[in-house]
Chain A
Amino acid sequence: MGFIMDGLDAEAYDRQYTDATLVKRIIGYFRPQAKRMVAISAAIFLTSIVNTALPIYISSSLDELQTNPAAVSLATITVILVLLGVLGWVFNAVRQWLSAEAIGNVTLQLREDAFDAVVKRDLSFYDTYSSGKIVSRVTSDTQAFSQVVALATDLMSQILLVVLLIGYLFLVNVQLTLITLTLSPFIIITALAFRKIARETVTRSRRVNAVVSSHIQETVSGIGIAKSFRQEQAIYNEFLDVNAQSYRVNLRTGYTFSSIFPILNLLAGFGTAALVYFGGIRSQAGELTPGEWYLFIQGLALFWFPLTSIASFWSQFQLGLAAGERVFALIDADAKVVQNDSVKLPHIKGEIRFERVNFSYNENEPVLTDFSLTIAAGETLALVGHTGSGKSSIGKLISRFYEFQSGRILIDGYDIRTLDLSAYHRQLGVVTQTPFLFDGTIMENIRYGNTSATDEEVRRVAETVGQGDWISTLPNGLETQVGERGSSLSMGQRQLVSLARVLLQNPSIIILDEATASIDPLTETLIQEGLDVVLANRTSIVIAHRLSTVKNADRIIVLREGEIIEQGTHDKLLTQGGHYAELYNTYFRHQSLEYIESAGHTLTA
């Protein structure tokens, strides 16, 4: 079967958990649902009793009919039978109804807790874990966990039914009950074996489906090139291979799933025939009545379905618990950024001071060592340096997105660790390198900077950025939908929106990580004009990638390996011919007018 495995390398991520505190934690979540849980248990118990009583009553009625037909009241039997059926339905309905509410509530609580925990985490947490994985913990793992509960109540009622029935059958006839029970190991073993095979085939199917998807994705994305070079036949042949492989693997998976029930049925068939024969012999010998004989045969049918679920239950239960554990781990993760007071500064002037700050993302790689820097209120500061020089870390520490290991950072003379972060963040503007927009209109996105702003205020701010020229080119002006993450806008337009957003917020301190993406020259001009407005009259820390920005800065800080090695204005630093001059030649030279002018001559060679 080698061909089936072609190109399907296995992945290993199997883990197993066992923990007593886990149980305590889970019970904690169910405590508010205690009344419901008691009612659910009662309903389960009653359902099982009724469902056991039904076949027993039918069989005893059959016996009565046979032995003493005249004395039988048909009406009574019918009423009791119908009553049992109705009660069974009602109890089951009550259980389902209440479980849905209880499970819904527990899941909701767990989700809210998980979200609240996530949103409190500092940014180092988001650097370590991918957003997809966090999302799946908050939504899918909580779902998987709650399904365990549903599974447990379902299974409990089935087990109870089996136990009650077996108990009664033992009273009727021990040997025949033992024959019935002989069947169970076979069923369990078959069900377990099936689970194992099914898991393997499903994993393989999933992988092969991914291969098919990526093949089609690539073909469709690159079809223009394939067409202009007339390579359709070659691509089609590749597709045939992939599709055939997918068919073979999926067919096996399908066959596995299709055969399980017929095979279990086959086993049950042997059991039924055995009971018919051995029970029949006992009955003929007078050890049990025909009605009781029939009860055993019915009992078998009631018996094998719960057994197959028990067999598959345990591993599902474990998966659910593991999901629960992942959610708890998320909730319990230690916060790294800790505030030791909550001073609310009504209006920040914007003086920032680093005093002997040490900072690293992880222990072995220090980013800032013994770092000191004072930024005056209202100053525009440009940070330049190679990747890893620590320039973005300075911005992130001022934003209080990360915890530093030692030293102090003072804002207007207050230790940053004593500030009320919410109040502080309202006076701090951050413009990220790739602007992030929320799905909605441009108006809504700008207003995100200050939710109490009126439409008019939003409009005025938008028109301040780049003289508002960009708004008129949008199909619906400020009411234009930006799409998922702003995808219906160009990168330049997204930057303009994020500049307007921060302008509306009107912060005292602004941290700007300048974009490196290339933008059409007209929009670029608008952005530059927007920056002039945004950076004016406030403390601005710019992680600079644009020549015009460094040129206009009050002061340039040149960083290398977490240390300030030069500072001053553009002209001064360039004449010094030090590290800045080197950085200029590496990153900024091609943005200069001299370069643009010289391109006409030198580069054509």
Chain B
Amino acid sequence: MQRSEFTVPNSYSYNRSNPIRWIFSHIWRYKYFFIATCACYLTAWFAHSYSRIMIGQAAEEIINPTAVDGLLKISLAILFILVVDSLAALGGSLAVETIAQRLERDSREELYISLLGKSQTFHDRQRVGDIMARATGDMQQMNFMINPGMLFIAETILGLSIPILMIATIKIDLILVPIIFVGVYIVTVRAYSRRLNPVVNNQRMAFGVMNAGLEETISGIEVVKATAQENFERQKFHRNAREFRNYFAQQGRIEAGYLPMLFYAFALGVGFLHCMVFYQNGQMTVPEIIGVMGLLGALRFPIFVSIFSFSLVQLGIASAKRILHIINAEAELDENAAGYDQQMVGEIVFEDVTFGYEDGTVLKNINLKVKAGETIAIVGQTGSGKSTLTDLINRTYDVTSGRILIDNIDVREWNLTALRSQISRIEQDVFLFSRSVAENIAFGAPDTPMEKIEQAAREAQAHNFISSFAKGYDTEVGERGVMLSGGQRQRLALARAFLSNPRILILDDSTSAIDSATEDEIQKAIRRAQQGRTTLLITHRLSQIRWADHILLLEGGEIIAGGSHEELLKTSPQYRRIFARYDVALPPVASEVPSVS
């Protein structure tokens, strides 16, 4: 049984051992629709083919009338069988469509449940865009794989075999030509799609390249114009457009040479010859020839549709594979439900912590001790490991070696829920849901009284701007509602934190304030939040750095300097460089300056 943080009781269970089995277990869930589809199309193709024979019988009746109403009877019979053909095809078509749509719905639901059940580690590593592509594009591809993909394959098989079977009932020898044709057809159609597919792919890619290139040129038009590179961009676009044109023309040429159609022309002629030979020997009548020619004519449709079907099915299976890959991905952390579960004090200790992904080390030999209630500012350039360092505290990731202790307990010994619920992280891009401001602040505690929400908002210096909205706390956030600035979003997240009251606060504070008044408010909110909590600040604000209890300077995953503002001014050239521009009276450099590359 897979580990999961979220399950839905009594949900249908599918076979997830491989993509094809998975698809069939989805289809088999609606086995009655599946059987109905098969039955309908079988009926339709039999009726369709049989109508051709009956037209031959009608010819017989015209040439040698048997009864006064003989022709009328046959005509009505033909009408009946054609109606059956159409209705059966309609039924089959609706049934297969139902399967396709339900497959899309069900598999999306299945994916969704699995996404909710995955750990945060999984989500941190997965790009939102990738998941979106699975949930929409790949789902739709699976839908197309069923209808028309698999349907066309079924129709090709039925549409080739049933008419040939019918020809056999008229005269078994006559199937020789169509059988040979089917053989030739299979060979040529495979060769055709092998030639066509790469060109179609190249063409699609060329279009993508052209489109992306143009998009880029237009987005960067100011740079293009300012550096007088219009001609360079022009040549680039012309080159890309020509590349696309060449693939387009190439595709046209390949399609023009669709050989199965040529062989079909031969089959029709030679098939007719075969009939005529029998006719001259007195073994066949004209009406029978009409029947056979009608059946040979019926072969045209499957030859046509089969071109698309195989690639549709291939694409569908590839999509299924990608979706299944996510569903089957294992959650890495275990919840450790029996772990340490106490009120947190907030002391953090890093002991020789090293952390890396498969492709390299991110943090090296981190040693650090933070007393409860202290504020630590972490400074470093992008990629120096600032965020990763804080990610290890709430076990978004686990250390590669060394250990992290909170209140003297290894974080891996903590109950995961207890650990995370007492640590609050505010990210650089604060995420808000498309619902009201109040609901966003009280997210996770829907029954919080309004006074408490307001109180939290006041503490976070958010009350004023919220009140300035026409709908106040009921204002919708996001696309259909009001757009909030980075500073406002950050203060809403702080309000959320005030409400949940964590012991450790991790704040990735890189919001900028355009004006000094907003800056004052953000500063106040953050300072308020620091009080009585262990706080780790990844901050761009010099004032926050200046007044932190302890400052860490990170470079390439290592702590290259640490201490208070005054200490660092003495010991760290990098740190001095930051403040040098402010005409600060820099203290003399201490003799034991650490050598820094």
Contact = CB atoms under 8 A, between A and B. Distances in A.
Given A65-B276, A217-B132, A235 B116 contact: yes
Given A108-B241, A436-B222, A492-B382, A220 B132 contact: yes
Contacts of B112: 216, 219, 236, 239, 243
Nearest to B280: A69
A225 B101 contact: no
A258 B97 contact: yes
Interface string B135-160: 11000000000010000000000000
A199 interface: no
A589 interface: yes
A375 B85 CA distance: 85
A58 B108 contact: no
Contacts of B102: 247
A521 B540 contact: yes
Contact of A100 (B248, B434, B523): B248
Contacts of B97: 251, 254-255, 257-258
Nearest to A603: B523
A93 B116 contact: no
Contacts of B6: 232-233, 236
Which secondary structure dominates where chain B touches chain A?
helix
Given A518-B512, A522-B380, A263 B90 contact: yes
A596 B59 contact: no
Nearest to B126: A220
B482 interface: no
Contacts of A81: 268-269, 272
Contacts of B513: 590
Contacts of A61: 272
A281 B71 contact: yes
B443 A216 contact: no
B111 to A, nearest CB: 9
B85 A520 contact: no
Nearest to B100: A254
A280 interface: yes
A33 interface: no
A269 B77 CA distance: 11
Interface string A530-546: 00000000000000010
B226 A209 contact: no
Contact of A284 (B65, B286, B293, B445): B65
Contacts of B61: 280
A54 B59 CA distance: 20
Most buried by A among B210, B245, B248, B382: B382
A47 to B, nearest CB: 12
B265 to A, nearest CB: 3
A406 interface: no
A336 interface: no
A375 B104 CA distance: 65
A554 B132 CA distance: 52
A203 interface: no
Contact of A99 (B207, B219, B252, B546): B252
Contacts of A423: 228
B241 A115 contact: yes
A290 B59 contact: yes
A227 B96 CA distance: 38
Contacts of B262: 85-86, 89
A250 B98 CA distance: 10
A438 interface: yes
A104 B512 contact: no
Contacts of A230: 444
B542 A521 contact: yes
Contacts of A596: 542-543, 546, 582
A174 to B, nearest CB: 19
Interface string B551-580: 000011000000000000000001001101
Interface stretch (B27-35, B400-408, B514-522): B514-522
A101 interface: yes
Contacts of B98: 251, 254
Interface string A223-258: 111111111110110011001101100110011011
Interface string B503-530: 0000000111111110110011001000
Nearest to A288: B62
A112 B241 contact: yes
B265 A243 contact: no
A107 B87 CA distance: 43
B5 A227 contact: yes
Contacts of B527: 603-604
Interface residues of B, number: 157
Interface string A503-520: 001000000000011111
Interface residues of A, number: 166
A476 to B, nearest CB: 12
A104 B245 CA distance: 5
Interface string A86-113: 1011001111110111011101100110
B431 A107 contact: no
A421 B421 CA distance: 61
A508 B449 CA distance: 63
A111 B210 CA distance: 11
A222 B514 CA distance: 27
Nearest to B242: A108
Nearest to B421: A228
Most buried by B among A401, A425, A522: A522
B268 A522 contact: no
A566 B120 CA distance: 55
B507 to A, nearest CB: 14
Contacts of A518: 510-512, 540
A139 interface: yes
Nearest to B285: A66
Nearest to A440: B216
A55 B78 CA distance: 21
A451 B229 contact: yes
B75 A273 contact: yes
Nearest to A396: B222
Interface stretch (B185-193, B232-240, B309-317, B451-459): B232-240
B343 interface: no
Contact of A258 (B136, B147, B252): B147
Contacts of B117: 232
B546 A548 contact: no
Nearest to A116: B234
A358 B243 CA distance: 46
B1 interface: no
Contacts of A281: 71
23 contacts: A62-B289, A65-B276, A82-B266, A96-B255, A112-B238, A135-B214, A216-B131, A218-B433, A219-B116, A232-B6, A236-B116, A239-B112, A273-B75, A293-B59, A470-B381, A474-B383, A492-B381, A505-B227, A520-B382, A524-B578, A586-B516, A597-B546, A603-B520
Given A115-B234, A139-B214, 7 more contacts: A72-B280, A111-B241, A235-B116, A520-B381, A520-B540, A586-B515, A596-B542
Closest 5 A-B residue pairs measured CB to CB? A100-B252, A229-B444, A85-B265, A269-B82, A518-B512
